[in-house]
A and B are shown apart, each in its own frame.
Chain A
């Protein structure tokens, strides 16, 4: 009498726990949903960034709930504000202290291009010293714009070839 071959049948305990995916997608999924910002607040955009992080707009909804003031524990530097030449070297050194992988958002006109400060003292865009991933326009940007910029960065991270980048000699 034939009995059911339990050994080869569908086992919900096994099948239900398996998700088939690519390693890149898995790594990027983790990275883009736990991206801790490092608020490089140098001027008034930093005040607006507080609004982004606070309860009304709540950056935490996108996995960026821990605003780390230590570069060692953060993934995404948000340069919010005017960067003078005197401060530029500090910004660069803080960026160098961040552990890879790391990303940079230039928040607002000053960080993106120097803004209205066409001056002997102001760095004309933070992209001159840092590799910027996302620029956010505005003076200062609305919190919605910052959230949109952050989502753009998440989409960008999802397209990265993380595994090959990990194995690539630096």
Chain B
């Protein structure tokens, strides 16, 4: 049975470029993008992490480079252990990452979602297109430069857009009740109250 210590040591021994990553729960590694698939394959075949639980990404913000990081979560049904693998995307403008669909068919939709939300292109993916937003949507909503309230765009269907004269509109929270930090009054605690206290009638403060 593979244990926590075994995985960390064995992976470091096998892949010298894999660095142990700060983690509060499960063992986690930073690997170079070029080695990511090899590490994942080794974890699946040799270490018993047979199940791909999630593929997602992190946008560290416009100031930081490398900006985008893809994260895989693997699970070992024999050891009941998780392991987390993260890899930086080389390019900040056009982030790319090899697709894990050849290792796990289940990576297909996860990668499509990651592409949809972050714009990270998974090379080798059989059908990389948007999965939540519609084809032709111009933005990647989970990127840091995308405002919480959204951005105006065209409706998916041009015929319906022409008939209804409706567009995708930004929807600022206008002091909604759903986000608060402990220890502050509700109205002042909301991030939205600070940076997006604007509504349809009053303009966004610049």
Contact = CB atoms under 8 A, between A and B. Distances in A.
Real binding pair: yes
B150 A120 contact: yes
B160 A88 contact: yes
A121 B169 contact: no
B118 to A, nearest CB: 14
B71 to A, nearest CB: 23
Contact of B171 (A88, A89, A122): A122
B155 A85 contact: yes
Contacts of B157: 89, 92-93
Interface string A74-105: 00000000000110110011000000000000
A129 B163 CA distance: 9
A15 B169 CA distance: 62
B174 to A, nearest CB: 7
B141 interface: yes
Interface residues of B, number: 25
Interface stretch (A17-25, A58-66, A111-119, A141-149): A111-119
A72 interface: no
B124 interface: no
Interface string A118-134: 11111010001100000
B179 to A, nearest CB: 11
Given A121-B133, A121-B141, A122-B171, A89 B160 contact: yes
A117 B173 CA distance: 9
B149 A120 contact: yes
B149 A118 contact: yes
A124 B134 contact: no
Contacts of B174: 118
B164 interface: yes
Nearest 3 pairs of A and B residues by beta carbon:
A120-B150, A89-B157, A89-B160
A123 to B, nearest CB: 8
